[in-house]
Amino acid sequence: MKAVILAGGGGTRLWPLSRSHAPKQLLAFAGSETLLQKTFRRTRKLVSQHNIMIAASLRDRRLLKKQLPRINSKQFSFEPVRRDTASAIGLAAIRVAHENPKAVMFMVNADHVIIDEREYVKVIRLAEQVVRSHPDHTVLVGIEPTYPETGYGYLKLARLFRSVQKRKVFLAERFIEKPPLKKAELFVKKWNYLWNPAMFMWRVDHLLTLYRKHLPIHYRLLMKMQAAIGTRKEDAVIQSLFPKLPAVSIDFGIMEKLKKMLVIPASFGWADIGHWRTVQEMLESGTDGNTIRGHHLGIDTHRSLVFNMSGKLVATAGVSDLIVVATDDAVLVCHREKAQDVKKIVELIKKKKWLKYL
């Protein structure tokens, strides 16, 4: 099995700590290891080191190699420009297929947190077994929801497909985009709705047939790039053709159109570190339910996150449910229920062309 770690995201909802020159997956939010380093270490429990591929932006090449110094350069799949997940996964897939067209390819994101790694390994190995038994199917892991999260996508299960090692494997009925709160509350009460953590697995030759069927422009350009892999023209061809790929997500481009899609329900303490509220939930809280990192003084402050990476003192008084993030050149203050809106702040900064804050 080949594990592909997607490490090319921008992490705009974690501004001002996550920046264009240091996106969230290359940062440490708890302990000394970055999100990428933790994901890599966890993935090594599934496959040997040489069977891990890092799909990332060419712009982050120096930082990536610094964080993962023992990785062979051929294990990186660098994208010259961002073209969303369908392009990133497609580029990784042709590299895997060049080596072994019948390899099982597992996709995982670099910004996920897993609490029960032993259970996680069991579930992924089970998924591999299912793919090998049904190579014309896509296999997903679905997370049993613990609360009505509106920032995650959901999977709706259809009928039972089969049982493997006393675990149930279901056919998927459909994907559901990030729902409003009332729908999320309804989903949590029903057994057949799961969080979608975007943990996908295919046999790589089957995955490429899905590109041919659902994303023909991608497929045509990817095949031209694959023909150059291993030659002296490889870098030049990818630099030339990859920017021509349409920017589309793997969910919208392929996954939402599939019929042969299987889901393994799981519960291993999963979280997507997508915004500051999830960071707060990941970290331990202290006095009055506050989560504090860095220099802070608080009076009558409750259930708030203060993440102070500056050399200044951050002081709060008479506030609740706030997120305060301070760096040397920027300060974010928002209500914890509006953590998703930090992305809109980044968009506004871009519109104003205040590039030094990006």
Examine the domain organization and report whether 265 and 286 are in the same domain: no
Q: Which of 178-187, 283-292, 320-329 has the highest mean pLDDT?
A: 320-329
Residue 166's pLDDT is 87
Residue 119's pLDDT is 96
Instruction: Say whether pLDDT at 102 is over 90.
Output: yes
Examine the domain organization and report whether 332 and 232 are in the same domain: no
CA atoms within a 13 Å half-sphere pointing along the CA-CB vector of 163: 3
Question: Tens of pLDDT along 66-85?
Answer: 999 989 988 999 999 999 99
Instruction: Please identify which residue in the block is written with the tokens 């998927």.
Output: 172
Examine the domain organization and report whether 265 and 323 are in the same domain: no
Residue 31's pLDDT is 82
Question: Tens of pLDDT along 19-45?
Answer: 988 899 999 888 889 999 999 999 999
The CA distances from residue 322 to 46, 241, 280, in Å, are 38, 45, 10
Examine the domain organization and report whether 223 and 113 are in the same domain: yes
- CATH at residue 103: 3.90.550.10
Residue 284's pLDDT is 82
Examine the domain organization and report whether 203 and 61 are in the same domain: yes
Instruction: Say whether pLDDT at 283 is over 90.
Output: no
Examine the domain organization and report whether 209 and 341 are in the same domain: no
Mean per-residue pLDDT over the chain, rounded: 94
Last residue of some domain: 241, 274, 307?
274
Residue 280's pLDDT is 92
Cβ–Cβ under 8 Å, residues 286 and 292: yes
User: What's the rounded mean pLDDT across residues 262-271?
Assistant: 94
User: What's the rounded mean pLDDT across residues 338-353?
Assistant: 94
Residue 281's pLDDT is 86
Last residue of some domain: 231, 252, 274?
274
Residue 312's pLDDT is 94
Residue 265's pLDDT is 96
Instruction: Say whether pLDDT at 228 is over 90.
Output: yes
Examine the domain organization and report whether 44 and 96 are in the same domain: yes
Examine the domain organization and report whether 56 and 121 are in the same domain: yes
Instruction: Say whether pLDDT at 285 is over 90.
Output: no
Examine the domain organization and report whether 287 and 267 are in the same domain: no
Instruction: Say whether pLDDT at 227 is over 90.
Output: yes
Confidence of residue 310 (pLDDT cuts 50, 70, 90): very high
Last residue of some domain: 257, 274, 291?
274
Confidence of residue 8 (pLDDT cuts 50, 70, 90): confident
The domain total for the chain is: 2
User: What's the rounded mean pLDDT across residues 163-170?
Assistant: 91
User: Can you give the residue range of the structural domain that contains 270?
Assistant: 2-274
Confidence of residue 264 (pLDDT cuts 50, 70, 90): very high
Confidence of residue 56 (pLDDT cuts 50, 70, 90): very high
Examine the domain organization and report whether 143 and 195 are in the same domain: yes
Instruction: Say whether pLDDT at 301 is over 90.
Output: yes
Examine the domain organization and report whether 88 and 140 are in the same domain: yes
User: What's the rounded mean pLDDT across residues 316-329?
Assistant: 96
Residue 203's pLDDT is 97
